Chains A and B, each alone.
Chain A
Amino acid sequence: METIRFDQLDETLYYEKLENGLEVYILPKKGFSKTFVTFTTKYGSVDRSFIPLGEQQAITVPDGIAHFLEHKMFEKEDGDVFQKFSEYGASANAFTSFARTAYLFSATNHVYESTETLLNFVQEPYFTEKTVNKEKGIIGQEITMYDDQPDWRLYFGTIENMFKEHPVKIDIAGTVESIDQITAEHLYTCYYTFYHPSNMLLFAIGALEPEKMIEVIRENQKKKEFAKPTPIKRIGVNEPSEVAIPERSLRMDVLKSKVSVGLKAKETSLSGREMLKHELAISLALDILFGRSSDFYTKVYEEGLIDESYSYDFSLEQGFGFAMIGSDTHQPDKLVQAIKDQLKKTEQNWPFGEEELERVKRRRIGFHLRALNSIEYIANQFTRYKFNDMNLFDSVAAIEELTLADVKQAFQSLQGESQQTVFKILPLKDSTKTDSESEGSKA
């Protein structure tokens, strides 16, 4: 087992790559009583077209299958895995995102037994037509629940607007219709293609002994047989750099409109330290332009164009990236105009200097140090960073290195009117009709 020391942060990380290809990272944390372990595959909702393990022909699987598979991993021939974790007093959970599926637990007792349970349930698939069909009712209700959430509809509506081909535009859970097509055979195909240890990462953090933890994991993995690791063949798409739909709206039973401006990223091919610096630079640019200490924020807050729901964010993975700026508002068109004006101003002449950069750098450094108190944050983020060949613990140093030129250069990825889209949620009964109104695409 290797050790990696981060002096400024006072952390020591342990690392080992097992024979079967599984990467294991262990980070002991002093003073904590809980341990948090995540077991993650680099497989998410965007991986819908690929060549299955051992075959020649590419296939496209029904939408929502990665998430469906995540649900079904918890059910075994002898019952529900939650029961086992509860016996250990461990809270288990899982989530599926665009690019990852993570299984996890936290516990203050029986940590090593729970780790074995985690490895075993994720590495022993059990799917039958009966259990698969039973799950359709449950996930159907999950989809319906999200359908009624205006903030989720706003988020996804904006993504749908931005992408023409890329599967990021497909809802992670799929639709009631698409999940109805899922069979046990589909699940096995996806499972064997994407759940090979060489496509996975285990991260353990908290109150644990690194030597003992690695021993438990090594022994557990030695007992199991896996196919030889083979590179996964995903089928890519050609996504144009401009947005698919510049503007769209949806009516829902809300009192106040919601609006989101999406900025589609042109640069989505970086990895490693370049990607780390790039995404941090864009976050800093957004802080300067749209943060709570910006002129923009003061103006729209004082004019009553935004409220406490105001937020902005940047997401980047290999193959897709986007920023979103939005708020609940009574004047969606005015707010959109203010956001677009701010972007335009930036394009013509970058209106900010070293002083603003220094301030938002400090803010981001503080954010990263605060986040390092949360072992859940570290585990989830470390895995995301690692899957993109970045290191979470390099963040503070990378922020310190960034110059104004880096920030300006990185922000170009989001600049240009053809990169911009607008999505609105409007109240059902509303006198202020907007020109661009059309029916929402999802029912």
Chain B
Amino acid sequence: MFNTLEVAKDVHIHTRVTDQFKTVNFSLKLRRPLKVEEAAERTVLTNVLQHSNAQFPSTASMRMYLDDLYGTVLYLDTSKKGNEHVVILNVETVNDQYLKNSDVLSKVLELMHTVLFEPNFENGTFKENIVAREKEMVKERIQSIFDDKSRYAQNRLTKILAPNHPASISANGTIPDVEAITLQSLTDTYQRMLAEDVVDIYVVGDIDETKMVEELKKALPFGDRKSSLTITEIPKIQPTDTYVKEKQDMKQGKLHIGFSTPVFFKDVDFPKMQIFNGIFGGYPHSKLFMNVREKESMAYYCSSSYSAQYGLVYVMSGIDVENEKRTLQLIDEQLLAMQQGEITDLEMTQTKAMLQNQLKEALDSARGQIEIYDQYKDLDEDFNVEAWQTKWQAVTKEDVVAMAKQLHKETVYFLSGMEDEK
């Protein structure tokens, strides 16, 4: 799908030439092992780089320039992938051919260089007022999870289910770690990132491939990486509790359940676990949707998701407080039914069809192409849709039963309103 070129040790450029889109998309990914303190440093760093550099010291001057480049979208972000922390620079710009007269693309490449390699330094470090402001912004972002009750409940569940584990470490870091950042520590983090992180540069669009690679090498001059960044195995989760109830001033109860499985993304059983999850609660034809919602009218949503990077399955539902026990029982019944082989041919066909459709649909956007390739390229095989279709087709009912039997319920978390509210 992509043509890959290693331009320095552990620095890869992946190109995909296509006339499918009216824009050109770039994605730069910088990875290193996930550490909680570093997550905060790297998140504040992305904010600082996004809002200020040597050429465009203020947010407004940067934004004005992006507006002039036909509203080119440029943003930095952080995420995690398994045991790695990832700094991302995403850029999307209009393809010159749809504009009357302009040379946007080469300016955008220069700008990517500016953002990453021309920081707004003063006496060898980032500027105090900008760092202070962006630390505040990141703190606010971390805190804002509290105000979104579904996200908050999921966050609490993972903290109880997998404390001090990559599954529960936030890519944004913690508030104390943000507060501890100094001008020097942030500058060191920045320099370490540029020198040491493993680099993947993606570009998708109607481009001249050879010319683009040359321009990218010039705009993003990353040298050889040291081979010291070894990624460790994902550790086993150790939940602190099996059942936690908490209360806030709210109306709907949020029921979140965490299950462990021995099946991870890189395992041969991965496609089987995907089918299990699809039948269990992944789609509107699934057992959770059909029974908890449609049959029992308990909830507007009740679904499961499979976090293959960490070998975890989550179930989440929004319910009336008094239906807590009944809903838990219904969810248990659906899993038990699958463990006992109550799986229809129709459920198998539907789930396989939906998985195929989902993968093909995701590949219809440039961002989807980049993200899927970025994930699947780590497997020891070339990625293609047909190969995955074949894997899903080969999965039998017995396989799905075997997956269901390997699910272990670890933690139930229930966030609900105050009693006197009802």
Is A91 within 8 A of B70, CB to CB? no
Q: Enumerate chain A interface residues (CB-CB to B < 8 A).
A: 8-9, 30-34, 80, 82-83, 86-92, 106-109, 134-139, 141-142, 144-145, 147-150, 252-256, 291-295, 297-298, 301-302, 304, 307-309, 328, 359-360, 362-367, 369-370, 372-375, 428
- Bound state CA distance, A82 and B286, in angstroms? 10
CB contact between A373 and one of B71, B141, B349, B365 (< 8 Å): that residue: B365
**Residues in chain A near residue B349, CB distance under 8 A:** 87
Judged by a CB distance under 8 angstroms, whether B20 is at the interface is: yes
**Residues in chain B near residue A86, CB distance under 8 A:** 283-285, 350-351, 353-354
Is B147 within 8 A of A428, CB to CB? no
Q: 11 A-B Cβ contacts within 8 A?
A: A90-B357, A91-B358, A138-B300, A145-B318, A147-B251, A148-B251, A293-B67, A363-B66, A363-B71, A369-B94, A373-B365
CB distance from B199 to the nearest CB of A (A): 26
CB contact between A365 and one of B71, B147, B353, B364 (< 8 Å): that residue: B71
Is B133 within 8 A of A304, CB to CB? yes
**Residues in chain A near residue B358, CB distance under 8 A:** 91
**Residues in chain B near residue A8, CB distance under 8 A:** 98
Is B94 within 8 A of A359, CB to CB? no
Question: In the complex, which residue of chain B has the Cβ closest to the Cβ of A32?
Answer: B364
Is B67 within 8 A of A363, CB to CB? yes
Apart from A108-B356, A109-B357, A373-B22, list 9 A-B contacts with CB within 8 A.
A32-B364, A87-B346, A89-B354, A137-B298, A145-B252, A253-B249, A308-B137, A359-B67, A366-B93
**Residues in chain A near residue B300, CB distance under 8 A:** 138-139, 141-142, 145
Is B18 within 8 A of A294, CB to CB? no
**Residues in chain B near residue A291, CB distance under 8 A:** 63, 67
Question: By CB atoms of chain B within 10 A, which of A298, A366, A374 has the most?
Answer: A366
Question: By CB atoms of chain A within 10 A, which of B22, B92, B136 has the most?
Answer: B22
**Residues in chain A near residue B143, CB distance under 8 A:** 255-256
Is A148 within 8 A of B252, CB to CB? yes
**Residues in chain B near residue A255, CB distance under 8 A:** 143-144, 146-147
- Bound state CA distance, A9 and B95, in angstroms? 11
Contact-residue bracket for chain B: 35 or more
**Residues in chain A near residue B147, CB distance under 8 A:** 150, 254-256, 328
Question: In the complex, which residue of chain B has the Cβ closest to the Cβ of A373?
Answer: B21
**Residues in chain A near residue B71, CB distance under 8 A:** 362-367, 370
Is A88 within 8 A of B353, CB to CB? yes
Judged by a CB distance under 8 angstroms, whether B179 is at the interface is: no
Q: Which of B116-143 contact A (CB under 8 A)?
A: 133, 136-137, 140-141, 143
CB distance from A151 to the nearest CB of B (A): 8
Judged by a CB distance under 8 angstroms, whether B149 is at the interface is: yes
Judged by a CB distance under 8 angstroms, whether B213 is at the interface is: no
Is B67 within 8 A of A369, CB to CB? no
Is B67 within 8 A of A360, CB to CB? yes
Is A428 within 8 A of B364, CB to CB? no
Quick one: given A138-B300, A253-B249, A360-B67, are A144 and B353 in contact (CB under 8 Å)?
no
Is B357 within 8 A of A89, CB to CB? yes
- Bound state CA distance, A373 and B93, in angstroms? 12
- Bound state CA distance, A150 and B150, in angstroms? 12
Question: In the complex, which residue of chain B has the Cβ closest to the Cβ of A370?
Answer: B23
CB distance from B79 to the nearest CB of A (A): 16
Q: Which of B38-72 contact A (CB under 8 A)?
A: 58-60, 63-64, 66-72
**Residues in chain B near residue A87, CB distance under 8 A:** 346, 349-350, 353
Question: In the complex, which residue of chain B has the Cβ closest to the Cβ of A109?
Answer: B357
**Residues in chain A near residue B35, CB distance under 8 A:** none
Q: Enumerate chain B interface residues (CB-CB to A < 8 A).
A: 18-23, 58-60, 63-64, 66-73, 92-94, 98-99, 133, 136-137, 140-141, 143-144, 146-149, 248-252, 283-285, 289-290, 293-294, 297-301, 318-320, 346, 349-354, 356-358, 360-361, 363-366
CB contact between A82 and one of B59, B284, B299 (< 8 Å): that residue: B284
CB distance from A391 to the nearest CB of B (A): 18
Question: In the complex, which residue of chain A has the Cβ closest to the Cβ of B278?
Answer: A86
**Residues in chain B near residue A295, CB distance under 8 A:** 60
CB contact between A307 and one of B99, B141, B293 (< 8 Å): that residue: B141
Is B353 within 8 A of A31, CB to CB? no
CB contact between B356 and one of A80, A89, A328 (< 8 Å): that residue: A89
Is A359 within 8 A of B64, CB to CB? yes
CB distance from B53 to the nearest CB of A (A): 16
Is A362 within 8 A of B68, CB to CB? yes
Is B60 within 8 A of A369, CB to CB? no
CB distance from B21 to the nearest CB of A (A): 5
**Residues in chain B near residue A254, CB distance under 8 A:** 146-147
Is B251 within 8 A of A366, CB to CB? no
CB contact between A308 and one of B98, B141, B148 (< 8 Å): that residue: B141
Is B18 within 8 A of A83, CB to CB? no
Quick one: given A147-B252, A255-B143, A293-B60, are A107 and B357 in contact (CB under 8 Å)?
yes
Question: In the complex, which residue of chain B has the Cβ closest to the Cβ of A173?
Answer: B300
Is A366 within 8 A of B350, CB to CB? no
Question: In the complex, which residue of chain A has the Cβ closest to the Cβ of B145?
Answer: A255
- Bound state CA distance, A147 and B318, in angstroms? 12
Is A294 within 8 A of B249, CB to CB? no
- Bound state CA distance, A80 and B320, in angstroms? 24
Quick one: given A107-B357, A302-B133, are A362 and B140 in contact (CB under 8 Å)?
no
Question: By CB atoms of chain A within 10 A, which of B68, B73, B147, B252 has the most?
Answer: B147
Is A80 within 8 A of B72, CB to CB? no
Question: By CB atoms of chain A within 10 A, which of B73, B136, B350 has the most?
Answer: B350
Is B59 within 8 A of A253, CB to CB? no
**Residues in chain B near residue A34, CB distance under 8 A:** 357, 360-361, 364
- Bound state CA distance, A9 and B23, in angstroms? 12
CB distance from A243 to the nearest CB of B (A): 26
CB distance from B373 to the nearest CB of A (A): 15
- Bound state CA distance, A307 and B289, in angstroms? 37
**Residues in chain A near residue B69, CB distance under 8 A:** 362, 366
CB distance from A127 to the nearest CB of B (A): 16
Which 4 residue pairs of A and B lie closest in terms of their CB atoms, listed nearest first?
A89-B353, A366-B71, A137-B297, A31-B20
Question: By CB atoms of chain B within 10 A, which of A92, A108, A365 has the most?
Answer: A108
CB distance from B136 to the nearest CB of A (A): 7
Is A366 within 8 A of B72, CB to CB? yes
- Bound state CA distance, A109 and B353, in angstroms? 9
Question: In the complex, which residue of chain A has the Cβ closest to the Cβ of B299?
Answer: A141
- Bound state CA distance, A359 and B72, in angstroms? 12
**Residues in chain B near residue A138, CB distance under 8 A:** 293-294, 297, 299-300
- Bound state CA distance, A109 and B298, in angstroms? 33
CB distance from B397 to the nearest CB of A (A): 17
Question: In the complex, which residue of chain B has the Cβ closest to the Cβ of A294?
Answer: B60
**Residues in chain A near residue B19, CB distance under 8 A:** 30-31
**Residues in chain A near residue B137, CB distance under 8 A:** 307-308
CB distance from A178 to the nearest CB of B (A): 17
Quick one: given A253-B248, A307-B137, A307-B141, are A298 and B60 in contact (CB under 8 Å)?
yes
**Residues in chain B near residue A360, CB distance under 8 A:** 67
**Residues in chain A near residue B72, CB distance under 8 A:** 366
Is A144 within 8 A of B140, CB to CB? no
Quick one: given A328-B140, A366-B94, are A108 and B360 in contact (CB under 8 Å)?
yes
